[in-house]
Every structure is written in C-alpha cells, then in structure tokens.
Structure 1
Amino acid sequence: MESGQPASAAPTGIARADRDVVALGIITAAIILFVGSGSAVLTRTVRHMLFGGASVDSVLANALLLNIALIIFGWRRYVELTGEVRERRRAEETARTLAFTDPLTGCLNRRSLDGAIEALVAEARAHGDAVALFMLDLDKFKRANDLHGHQTGDAVLVATADRLRATLPAGAIIARIGGDEFTCAIRFDPARTAMVEQLAEKLNATLGEPVRLPDCEVDISGSIGLARSDGGTMPPQADDATIAARLQHHADLAMYQAKSGGRNRFCWFDPTMEKELRFRAELETGIREGIARGEFVPYYEKQIDIDTGRLSGFEMLARWQSPRHGLIAPDVFIPVAEEIGVIAELSESLIRQALVDAREWDPSLTLSVNVSPLQLRDPWFAQRLLKLLVEANFPPHRLDVEITETCLHENLPLVRSLVASLKNQGIRLSLDDFGTGYSSIAQLRSLPFDRIKIDRSFVSTLDSCKDSATIVAAITSLGQGLDLPLTAEGIETEGVLEELRKLGSFKGQGFLYGHPQDAQTVRAALAADDLLIGNATPADAAAQEPATPGQNRAALG
C-alpha cells in the first residue's frame, strides 16, 4: 500500500473484544469448583464402586455434573464468540480498506488523500524538505473507453496505477481521485528541483507507452500539473491542512495548463494561472448573462467585387459589448461559448439581429453568417435557421451560410443532410477557410457548395510569400475547374489586390475596404449610397413583401 495510507482508526468495542470476560469467568469459576469438589466426589464414587460402603451424596454428584456442564457450555460459548469477533473484525477492516482506497487500482482515494498529504507535509517540514504534488490526467482516455469498452478502460487505469508505483520513489503517495485523474506526492530536497522535473519527464514517457491488452492496444498519454509546498506560493504561516489543500488546487490549475499547451507534458504552477482562472470564470458568467441582456451584437465587414469595386454584401461578425471589458473580439469569447454549451443560443441571437438589419438593405446585397461546428451537430439546425428567416421575413437566397472545412470530418453524413436541407430552401452555402483543413475534391463535388472562401492566412501574404501565391493560384484553378466562385479574405494592401486581379475574378473582403462596423454605421453608409430598401426600385421592394402564412409554412418545410 502507498505511503500515506491512513492509520487504522481507534479500536471499536468489537475490535477490543478479543476475549469474552464473562465466558472466561464462568469457565474459571467452574474449574475451581470442579477442583474443589470433584476430588472428594470422584474419590467416594470410585471407592463405592470398588469396595462398597457409603454411597456418594446425590447433591454432591449433581453439583459435579452441573459443574462439568458449565465448563463445557462456557468453553463452547467462548469459542463461538471469539470466532464471531474475528469475522466481524475482518469485515470491519475490509470496510475500512474500501472507505480509504480505490477498489479498482488499490491506490488511495479522495477521502483519504487530504490526510495523507497533510501527514507528508508535516513530515517534510520536520526534516527541512518540501513536498511536490503531481496532478495527472490521462489524455484521450474517454475516447479509448468509448471505443473499446469500460473493461478496457478499467484495465488501462490499473496499468496506469502500476506504472506510477514502478516510477515513483518509495514512500510516494499515489491516489486515484476519480475517473482518469491521479494525484501523487513526494518529499524532496528544495535544492533539487531538477529531480522533480526529471521524474515528471519520466512519468510522461512511461505513460505515453501503449497499454498492451490481450485483445487490443491502447495509446494514451498523461498531462501533469506540478506544485510545491515552498517557493512563496503558499500563504505565510499556513498550517499543514491549508498547504495540502493549496497544493492540490495549484497542481490542478497547472494540469489544465499542461492540457491546453498540447497534452503529454508537465507544467509547474504559476500564480498568474489563478488570475486566468478568475478571468475565465468571469468570462463564462459574463457570456451567459450577456446573451440574456443582448450584449452580443453583429458587426458587418464589406464584401466587394474586385473587378468592379461594387459592394456585393456583408459578412456578419460577432462582437461583445461588455459593460466591464468593453468591445471584445470573437476569438476571445467564441471558444468559451462553445465549451460551456451556449454557442447555439449566442449564434441564433446574432443571426436574428443580423436578419432584421439586412432586411432593410438593397436586395442586391447578401448577408454571410458563420456557424459553429457544434451547431452542425444538431440535426434540427436547418429548421432553426429557417424559422429565423421566416420570423425576419428575409429572402433565403440572400443568405450565405459559411461552413468551415473541419466540419466536414466530424460527421459528414449529418453535414450532408443539413446542407441539402438548407439548399432546398434556397440558402447559399460557402466552404470557409479553404486550404487550412483536409477537404478533398470528392467532397467539394459531393456537397452542393456555392462558393469557396480562401483563408486569410494565404491571401494576406500573397504579395510577399511565394508559397502563399502558389496555394492561392492552385485554389483559384480548382474553383474555376469546379465552376465555384471564390471569395478572398484578408485583403489588406493594394499589392495583394493587384496580385488577386492577375489570378481571376474574386469577391474580396479585408481591412483595405474598411474595418467591420456596427449596424447603425452600416445603415447610415448605405442610406448615403441609396442602398436601403426604401430607395430600391418597385420591383426590388416587391421582393421584400411579407410572406403569407402559407408561404411561411412552406419555407419551414
């Protein structure tokens, strides 16, 4: 058993009952009486039987028999009771083991871990040492568990515990605190921090080796967070319990940092991690509350026909008007919204606002919106989007939904079904960020996309990087061969624009044409250019007439 196993609890009444005092007293008294009276009774009995003479007193004979019965009864009772105590003691020890250890791996469990770390901290303090705590989480364990089954997952956990025991020094604490998370702790000389890092590297290497089982081979790895009990990261004059709790908290933060940094690595705790954690918590709360308060608003980036220079539409971009942090870009809050499961609600809120804004634009202008890969996992996404179109009375053919390449590899059959549903209602579809994923020509031919958008990472360096120029030229040829129009993102200089014109016809967007603007600014600019619906021709205005209830139902399918 690992070091730090909680000491046995104080003996209970059953554990102290090694002997039944009453039964022993009865046996002892019966033996004394037997010795005192038995010699006389037995002597007279033998003499009477051999030589005749006076018979034995019946009272004394009965007393002797009763004495013998008491000895037999007392002994049997004593044997039975000691056997019962022994069995109950074994059951009590088994219950204690189950209460303080993980039944699968034999490591300590969460209940016993705090006390074990406190004891190790006290021991280290007494010897002038420090405690290093390792918080370990297995990478890709859930995928392996789902793929091969729970029995295989259990075998991987047992193998992990065995590897930890084989790698860590004697006296180390090893605990499984739940799922695929383990906590380990060791004493070390504060002057030998490198030894702790070498041990962490060895653990990464050991855990990264495949777990070979009879029916399969499982590839996993481990992300490790490290924290130490010295070095100024603990409150002054902290007691052992406080240090133990802080060690676990610090190592947990460091472990998540190791995961976000690429997995299969270790990371020391740094005080800035706590600040990041508080900011992340504030961000999550702010996003949830901000959606309800309407703090997320659409901004619009121009899309220009680079041949004519005419405005062809806008791409809707999300912005967060946070009352605390000001205007926040989407790369900050979109990943968090996806992780906490509110991206669909956030996206639908933005699309709803954008459709109302775009309803006033000239009918020749289109609206492009991005959708999260998580939204495309929802089989009802197409119906939700069509409902928004009907509510806003916005023509489907003016809406362009942009889908990133990565979506095509997560659940292609579902994406194909959603794409078909959207296309059947007249919505246009663009393959966004083309060139950064793994789309094949076969997928482009099998999915009814209307446009390809070349990723800005290639376009923005078109005039300065030969590789970018080669990639953009290849994508342009592909689009022309498949008869798919192209949009180039990231046009920021005249040089890039000139290079694009040499390659072919594009719809372009980027800072060269202006930064994204809010709805009021866009509306004012469109009004100045007579590009609002009130300034459109009668034929264009007719296209914007409200749909009848029957038409609404038809649009919803």
Structure 2
Amino acid sequence: MEWDRQRGTEGTAPAEAPQRGNRWTLPIYIAGIVLFAGLAIAVISGFLDHRYFGGAPVERHLFLALIANAVLVFFCWLRHRAAAIEMHGRSAAEERARMLASRDPLTGFLNRRSLSEAGAALLRAATRRDQAVALMIVDLDHFKMVNDMHGHEAGDAVLRAAAHAIADVMPSAALTARFGGDAFACAFVFDARDPSTVDHVASRVIAALSQPIEVDDRRIHLTSSIGVARSDFDGAGIDTLLRSADIAMYCAKKSGRGGVTWFNRAMEHALIDRNDIENGLRQAIPAGQIVPYFEPQIDLATGRLCGFEVLARWVHPTQGIIPPDRFIPVAEDSGLIAELSLAIMRQAFAAARDWDPTLSLSVNISPYQLRDAWLAQKIIKATVEGGFAANRLEIEVTESALFDNLALAQSIVGSLKNQGVRLALDDFGTGYSSLAHLRALPFDRIKIDKSFVLSMLDNADSAAIVNAIIGLGANLNLPVTAEGVETDTIAERLAALGCAKAQGWNYGKPLSIADTRRMLAARGLLHAGTTEPDLPDLTTRRQVG
C-alpha cells in the first residue's frame, strides 16, 4: 500500500508543472493582447495625426514596443496552445490508464477490483428495490487444450469470442468481468421470488458457449461450467458471493462439466473437508500413515491362495482408519497420487519379499501416473529396493487411464513387460472401447468389475455380461479374475463358467501387514528361517473392508 501511495504521488507531480505553466501563460497572453491593442491604437493615431494634421511623427520606441509586444503575444499563444495540447494528451493518457486499471485489456470486461466496487453498488441498489443479485462464475472447460494445440493467439481469440457471446445473452444492466485465464464473472439483479430467470440466463450462456468458434479457419468447440450464488441466501457481500459461486462452479465441473450448479452450504462443508484431507495427506504420506492392506485372491479351480491385491488405508493418528474412497480421489485431484502409490508399493514389496514365491501382488495404477514417462523405471526401482521379484507383480490399469495418451501407456507397459511385470485390465466392461484396448496393449489378465459380479445372481444382464467376458477371455487366452465375490454361490457359478481367480469378502477382508503375515505363517507360506521384516505396523488389528 505504501508503494502504491508513493507511486501515485510521483505520478501526479509531472502533471502539475504544465498546469502551473499554463496558469501563468494565459494571463500573460491576455495582458499582452491588451497592451498590444493600446500600443497599436497609439501608433495608428499618431501616424494619422502626423500624416493628415501635421502633428509630430510617431516616436520610434512606440514602433519597437509594438513589435516586441506582437512577438510576446505570438509566443504566449504558441505556449498556451502547446500546453493545451499537452494537457489534452495527458488527460487522454490518464483516461486510458484508468481504463486499463479497471478493465481487462483482452475482452474489455471489468477486472476483479472493478467488479468488487461495481458489485457493491449493484447490491445496494438491489437491496433498496427489495431484489436479489445473482452472481455467476463461468469457466471454459478444457481451455488449456486450446492454448496447447493452437497457440496463445488462438486462445486469446477464443476468449474474446467467449466474452462477446456472454455479453450478448446477459441482461442489459449486468456486470461482466474476467478474472484472468478462462474464468468470467457476471452479476445482475433478479426478482428473488422467481429464480428461474437466472436459470434461463445461465442456460443461454451454456448454449452460446457451446457454439463452434471460428479461429483462423479452424472450428474450436468448447463447453462451459457455471456456478451460481444469490445474495439473499449465499452472502451479502460481493466477495462472499464470488467465493460461493466459485465453489459451485467447482462442483459443476466435478459433476461432469457443461452444466449449471447453484451453491449450497453442503458444498462449502465438502470443500473444507477436501482441503483438510489434502493437507493431511501431505503430512501423512511421508510420515508413513498410508499403509498397504492385502485382499486375498483365490484360484477357483483349486481353492488355493495365489496372491493379493494391494489396497491403501490411511491410519490417522486421531480418526483411526480412513477408507480409500475418501482420500484417493483427493490424492488424484491434487497430484499426490503418484507419491502415495509409490509409497504403498515400497511398503508392500518389502513386506512380501519373504512370502512364498508363488504369491503375487496386484497394484492399481491411476490415470495420472500413466502420464509419467518414468513410471516404469520408478516401479522397477521399488521392486529392487524391496527385494521383490518383478515377475510376481501384476499392474492393473483401467480403460480411463488409457484415454489420454495411448502411445505413452504402450511405452510404459512395454518397459514393465520387459522386466517380467504382468498387466491386467481392471474394471472390464465399464468402459467404451475395451476390445480396442485389449488389442492395443499386451494384457495378461482381465478383471471383471465387481458391480456385475455382485448382481449376477439377481440380474440377467449382469449374468450375461459376466458370461461374455469369461468367454472372451478364454478365446483370447486371457485368464479372468472376478472382483466382489461375497458368497460361495457366486464363487461356484464363476468356477462353472471357467473364471480363473476370484477375490472378495467371501475369502476374507483386506488385512494389514501384520495380520497377513500371521495368516501366511499359519498356512506355511513364509520362507522357513526368515525373520519378520523390520516394518512399522501402524495399523490396528481390526479388519477393514
């Protein structure tokens, strides 16, 4: 603030000097004209008196004074004119500076500071008229791809076109602002008893921004997500409304993008909970609080334990065990999933190094991790450091993980396969291009999503899907693992269909490192003469699903 004040003071000093000069130039200019007129009258009357009436000649000093005065008047006129031009230019520059300070230079919309000031006035006016203000945050979906694919000039053109489209459908007295990037804010007054008018405006914005934008003979297609807050429910101040609308916009994106979401208090509580989880994860991962649990996998033909799927559990120091559905999505959104996954793998590999070598480990890889070109090297390094044979490891990927960059996924998978790691396609049947991906990558196994397995006895469609997947696996020479097996009846049906392996609560809930070791020791599946690895078991004895 101090710097701004100093900057403002320094900025006004040069403007005052021309004003002071101009103040003195004008009186001198006027006085010079009056003096010139007096001298001119004296010279002319003297000349006429001498010429026609025989009077004395005009004195020379009067002529010199008249000429000098004429030069002075001309100089003052030039100086006054220059000062006037300078002041006009300075005023125009100051006006442009004020515009730049209050407007987004790319779109001409208000900036955040100006929206706060104008929005406060709009709120006061709405309150006086017993009306409400709706504030929308409009965010272009996947706008970064436009800059990445077409360049920033094309991105700027898209932003200008989007701003024009938004302005066209807004009410005439609406405030429109751009907050940098691809986020816009719009505020307008509406009748609090009829919020459908706000929905109508939001729908028009969605429709306008879904139209293709022509940029350099290219047609760029975008969608937008909108969050809406209202002054009578969600906050009396413009800054509070902006925060509420921003939270609603975030929820609109999480709900699938391309839609409109009104703010409610539950969203704020969910956001606070999410931020608490993210902050907690940043401390929990390096502290070793995220630990592996092991879900048994059974060979259906023999009933033999053949391996485990590695699952993550958060052993919180005060909240106990936090299930993965609470923290895994946050880890993926915040970019922590890679660090978390490798931490789990290191612990699991170290724990399993003295298990019977016939026991395998299955580990899930998130879509975010498959963007890392060094993923294969990191996984192999973790197996070496943990003393775990790579040929005992099975990496599970979902179809969604392959959509972003299939070529990179093929490279990562190829490096892993070269080291003996096996590959499974997880949640088969829930995607859109399973057969194409089965041909594109060298899978060793298919895993049936548990939603089909759980309902196969009661739902004919689910039973048909399970049967078809097992048949497909047999034809492609790919063994099939079924998830979510919770009863002997389901297990027997799967075995009769030719399913190779199964996992689920029918064979026990996921176990901690210590409980898994006790189970393996009881079955004679630990190497004789080995000692228990020096691993801190932060888990409780409680089994968690």
The verdict on a shared fold, with TM-score over 0.5 as the criterion, is: yes
Deviation at 1:354, TM superposition (A): 0.5
The alignment-based identity, stated in percent, is 49
Distance 1:376 1:263 in 2: 23
The partner residue of 1:382 within 364, 368, 376 is 376
Query: Retained in 2: the 8 A contact 1:139–1:221?
Result: yes
Aligned to 1:7: none
* Equivalent residue, structure 2, for 1:366: 360
Displacement after TM superposition at 1:163 (Å): 2.0
- Of 517-526 and 332-341, more deviation after overlay is shown by 332-341
- The Cα shift of 1:103 comes to 1.5
Aligned pairs (5 A) from 1:408-557 = 408-441=402-435, 443-534=437-528
Is structure 2 residue 127 aligned with structure 1 residue 125? yes
- Look up the match of 2:191: 189
Q: Please report how far the alpha carbon of residue 136 of structure 1 lies from its aligned counterpart in structure 2 after TM superposition.
A: 1.0
Pairs aligned (count): 519
Name the structure 2 match of 1:202.
Answer: 204
2:35 is matched with: 33
- Using the size of structure 1 for normalisation, the TM-score is 0.88
Q: Between 450-459 and 73-82, report the one with greater CA deviation.
A: 450-459
Q: Is the 8 A contact 2:399 2:434 kept in 1?
A: no
Q: Which amino acid aligns with 1:191?
A: R
Separation (CA, whole Å) in 2 of partners of 1:144 and 1:490: 41
SS of residue in 2 equivalent to 1:184:
strand
Q: 1:328 aligns with which of 322, 326, 345?
A: 322
2:296–2:309 CA contact under 8 A, matched in 1: yes
Provide the residue aligned with 2:535 in structure 1.
Answer: none
Shift of 1:297: 0.5
Q: What are the equivalent positions in structure 2 for 1:286-365 lying under 5 Å apart?
A: 286-365=280-359
Q: 1:252 and 1:408, CA in 2 relative to 1: closer, same or farther beyond 3 A?
A: closer
Report the AA paired with residue 99 of structure 1.
A
Distance in 1 of aligned mates of 2:393 and 2:99: 64
User: What whole-Å deviation, never above 9, does each CA across 1:405-425 have from its counterpart, x for those lacking one?
Assistant: 223332222222222221222
Partner of 2:267: 273
Q: Following TM superposition, by how much is the alpha carbon of 1:519 offset from its aligned partner in structure 2, in angstroms?
A: 0.9
Structure 1 unaligned residues grouped into runs of 5+: 1-10, 542-557
Secondary structure at 2:315's aligned position in 1?
A: strand
Tell me, yes or no, if the aligned pair for 1:18 and 1:82 is still in contact at 8 Å: no
Aligned partner of residue 175 in structure 1, secondary structure = strand
Conservation of the 8 A alpha-carbon contact between 2:399 and 2:437: no
AA at the equivalent of 1:334: I
Note closer, same or farther for the CA distance 1:35–1:429 as it changes in structure 2 (3 Å cut): closer
Q: In the alignment, residue 270 of structure 1 is paired with which amino acid?
A: N
| Deviation larger for 333-342 or 283-292 | 333-342
Counterpart contact for 2:112–2:177, Cα < 8 Å = yes
- The amino acid across from 1:450 in the alignment is D
**Displacement of 1:198:** 2.2
Give the Å deviation of 1:395: 1.6
Whole-Å separation in 2 of the counterparts to 1:430 and 1:268: 41
Report the more deviating stretch, 150-159 or 165-174: 150-159
- Tell me which residue corresponds to 1:22: 24
Q: Does 1:58 align with 2:52?
A: no
Does residue 224 of the first structure (1) align with residue 223 of the second (2)? no
Instruction: Report the CA distance between 1:25 and its aligned residue.
Output: 1.0
The question of whether the paired residues in 2 share the 8 Å contact of 1:312 and 1:365 is answered with yes
> What secondary structure does 1:84 align onto?
helix
The 1-side partners of 2:378 and 2:45 are apart by: 108
Tell me, in whole angstroms, the C-alpha distance in 2 between the residues paired with 1:433 and 1:68: 97
Q: In the aligned structure 2, how far is the partner of 1:24 from the partner of 1:519? A: 93
Residue in structure 1 matched with residue 238 of structure 2 by the alignment: 244
Question: Is contact 2:131–2:190 with CA below 8 Å preserved after alignment?
Answer: yes
1:53 positional shift: 5.5
Q: Is the 8 A contact 1:461 1:496 kept in 2?
A: no
Instruction: Report if aligned partners of 1:37, 1:64 keep a CA contact under 8 Å in 2.
Output: yes
Q: Could you report, residue by residue, the CA deviation over 1:318-362 in whole angstroms, capped at 9, with x for unpaired residues?
A: 111122432122222112112211211111111111011111212
Cα 1:447–1:129 shift into 2, 3 Å:
closer
- CA distance in 1 between partners of 2:75 and 2:399 (Å): 86
- Greater alpha carbon shift after TM alignment, 466-475 vs 207-216: 207-216
* Structure 2 CA distance for partners of 1:190 and 1:405, relative to 1, 3 Å: closer
Checking the alignment, whether the CA contact within 8 Å between 1:108 and 1:174 is kept in structure 2 is yes
**Alignment deviations for residues 466-501 of structure 1 (CA, whole Å, 9 cap, x no partner):** 112222222212211222222111111222112112
Task: State the Cα distance separating 1:125 from its structure 2 match.
Answer: 2.0
Q: What is the alpha-carbon distance in structure 2 between the residues aligned to residue 277 and residue 90 of structure 1?
A: 46
Deviation string, structure 1 residues 234-258 (Cα, Å, up to 9, x no partner):
3xxx6xxxx1111111111111112
Aligned equivalents of 1:505, 1:180: Cα separation in 2 = 50
Give CA-to-partner distance per residue, 1:103-153, whole Å, 9 cap, x none. 121111123111010111122222222211111111232223333332332
Give 2:80's aligned residue.
Answer: 78
Q: Provide, for residues 174-203 of structure 1, a one-character-per-residue CA deviation record: whole Å limited to 9, x for no partner.
A: 111111111111112222222222222222
Provide the residue aligned with 1:3 in structure 2.
none
RMSD: 2.3
Q: Which amino acid aligns with 1:96?
A: R
Change over 3 Å in CA distance of 1:440–1:292 after alignment to 2: closer
Give, in whole Å, the separation in 2 of the partners of 1:496 and 1:93.
77
**For residue 79 of structure 1, what is the amino acid of its counterpart?**
R
What per-residue deviation string (whole Å, max 9, x for no partner) do you get for residues 263-315 of structure 1? 22222211222211111111110011000111000000111111111111111
Unaligned runs of 5+ in 2: 1-10, 532-545
CA-CA distance at 1:535 after TM superposition: 6.7
Residue number in structure 2 paired with 1:156:
158
